[in-house]
Amino acid sequence: MKILIKKLLREGITEVSVKKTERIDIYRDSNYIVVRPLSEQASCKYGAYSKWCISAPSSGAWDEYNSDIIIIMILQKNYKIDSQRQKAISKMLEYNDAADNDEVTPDMHNEIKRLKQEHNVHYFEDLSKIALVFNKNNSHTEIWDFNNTSLGDYYNGWETLPISNEVKNAINDYIQTISQ
């Protein structure tokens, strides 16, 4: 059991402490966990280590957003990013944090521009964890990657994400069920 818990902690999945009453399991296999968290604790556990506001303990974001939306988290268990790409992602996150704090130097600005010219946004995305945010009436969907990058402008709907058709079908079935 200790080995399993250590593995789950390393992957940011501490599901063993999420009660079934605090989540709705939508799909599971050896590559994916798709879940709808029903509490802040479940959102924090499944979104562990991500930069999602809804997965930050005591941020208030869960309560603020929960009444009007449906959140579905997709966790890809075997998702890998090569080391060179991970360095570029880390650099972009560093620059984004600097931009958020109005601390971008001219050199940083030039580097951001260069990186964006050399690579499209998909180079910087991390799809190890994906948050889908649906309005209750399903008229609008947001797509967020692990690093809290909005991907809605880069994918023509969440159905075009590079995830398995089984996952897409399970999410569609779930959305249809709760929409009725």
**How confident is the model at residue 74, as a pLDDT?**
96
Kindly give the parts of the chain with pLDDT less than 50: 1-2, 4-9, 11-15
Q: Residue 150 gets which letter from DSSP? A: B
Rounded to whole angstroms, the Cα distance separating 100 from 93 reads 10
**How confident is the model at residue 118, as a pLDDT?**
79
Q: Which residue has the tokens 């990657």?
A: 145
In the chain, which residue ranges form alpha helices assigned H by DSSP?
A: 2-10, 40-46, 61-66, 83-100, 106-118, 121-124, 165-179
**How confident is the model at residue 33, as a pLDDT?**
96
Q: Return all residues near 33 (Cβ < 8 A) that are at least 6 apart.
A: 13, 15, 25, 27, 46, 73, 74, 75, 77
**How confident is the model at residue 174, as a pLDDT?**
93
pTM over 0.85: no
Lay out the sheet containing 23-28: strands in order across. 23-28, 32-37, 69-76, 129-135, 141-144
**How confident is the model at residue 68, as a pLDDT?**
73
5: left (phi > 0), else alpha (psi -120 to 50), else beta? alpha
Under 8 Å between Cβ of 48 and 14: yes
- Cα angle 72, 75, 77; round to 5: 165
